[in-house]
Amino acid sequence: MRNPVRVIPIECKFGPTSAYAYYIDSPEPALIDTGIASSASKEIEAVLEENDIQMKDIRWILLTHGHVDHLGGARAVWEKTGQQAKVVIPKKEARLLRNRSAHFEDYKELQGKYVDKTIQEKHITILTNDIGEGMEPDLEVVGGDQLSLGGNISITVVETPGHSIGSVTYILDKLEWAFAADAIQMYGGAKSGIPAIEQPALYRKSLQYLLEKICPKRLYLGHHFRDGNGDIVGPLVDQDEVISALQSSLEMDAKLTDLVARHLSVDIQSKNSSGLYGPFESIANEIGYSGDPRNLPCAFLVTMYAYQEELNATFKK
Ligand SMILES: [Zn+2]
């Protein structure tokens, strides 16, 4: 295509790391993801102003999933559009936009259960600051839905769950650019060395679907990620590198499945759970993982728990 659509990446600070939002310059301008509650006035407005774009002109707020670093700023961005942008979220994660307390429930089910009360309280305070106020979405999307951004620019929704239960990828039609955010974690996840995967079987399926059926020409990801060499790449992955990004994500999935099967095939209750990495201590030792799960977010615990659940389900069959 001779006239590609202009996309402006906006890096939004999130604790010691960052998450990306993307402005799509179209007759009905769209913002994909919104950072945390403070990102609207801190980074998003500033970057758009540098590009002579006003927040009030945004017509669409498209959320890829419900994690706080992507959805936390939704309400604040919407307010800055004069409450006129349409807010869109995957159907399966709409509860996280409506109801702030849903984030705390999810936290307690995942990372929260591996840390002590003091750390839990610290995390809840961070989440409370970052989530932003709840709101009603205008549209809850599912796979195959199409949205017109005006002119001949449109977006198709592809369901890519796994990183979270309802993650979607927004495909800019014709150009075949995929706004996948966190649906693709590369080999080493967002810098930490471990991808963040809540549903391994769905994650695997989504990667294969993107690789075999969608074949995007470009990826816009939610973070900087680590590739198989430990180098930091993204958030934009172009052309030839798209296939290797998807393949390396699948390689890591296979590695995690193998690791968990070897270390946790014994009764998990008999594993020492008191250390920093709970029942996953021996896995951390084998892969040389030294991240601190008392930091938020910690992909290690969330992902290990998910692969362990998958393994348990296979035993029960
Ligand atoms: Zn996420």
Q: What is the pLDDT of residue 15?
A: 86
| Distance from residue 181's CA to the centre of ligand 1 (Å) | 8
Q: d(Cα 33, Cα 44) in Å, to the nearest integer?
A: 10
β-sheet bridge partners, residue 220: 179, 236
Give 58 Cα–ligand 1 centroid separation in angstroms: 23
Residue 316 has pLDDT above 80, yes or no: no
Per-residue pLDDT, averaged over 211-223, amounts to: 97
Here the tokens at position 154 are 């449109």
Q: How confident is the model at residue 163 (pLDDT cuts 50, 70, 90)?
A: very high
Centre of ligand 1 from the C-alpha of residue 152, in Å: 30
The Å distance, Cα 195 to ligand 1 centre, comes to 10
Q: 183 CA to middle of ligand 1, Å?
A: 8
Bridge-based pairing state of the strands 218-221 and 225-226: unpaired
Model pLDDT for residues 37-70, shown as the tens digit of each residue: 999 999 999 999 999 999 999 999 999 999 999 9
Q: How far apart are CA 281 and CA 285, in angstroms?
A: 6
Torsion angles phi and psi, residue 302, rounded to 5:
-60, -45
Q: What is the pLDDT of residue 104?
A: 94
pLDDT for residue 109 is more than 90: no
CA of 14 to the centre of ligand 1 (A): 12
CA distance 266 to 278: 15
Residue 267 has pLDDT above 70, yes or no: no
**What was the pLDDT predicted at 2?**
46
- Alpha carbon of 312 to ligand 1 centroid (Å): 24
Q: What's the pLDDT score for residue 278?
A: 84
- Residue-wise DSSP of 241-310: HHHHHHHHHHHHHHHHHHHHHHHHSS-GGGS--SSTTGGGHHHHHHHT----TTSSS-HHHHHHHHHHHH
For residue 192, pLDDT over 80 is answered with no
**From the CA of 21, how far away is ligand 1's center (Å)?**
12
Contact (CB, 8 A) for 139 and 91: no
- Cα 3 to ligand 1 centre (Å): 31
Which residues lie below 8 Å from residue 224, measured CB to CB, with a gap of 6+? 18, 190, 191, 232, 233, 234, 235
Determine the distance separating the centroid of ligand 1 and the alpha carbon of 127, expressed in angstroms: 14
Q: Are 226 and 191 a contacting pair, CB within 8 Å? A: yes
pTM of the predicted model as reported, rounded to 2 decimal places: 0.95
pLDDT tens-digit readout, 62-104 = 999 999 999 999 999 999 999 999 999 999 999 999 999 999 9
Distance 234 CA to ligand 1 centre (A): 15
Spatial CA neighbour of 236 closest among 178, 189, 294, 317: 178
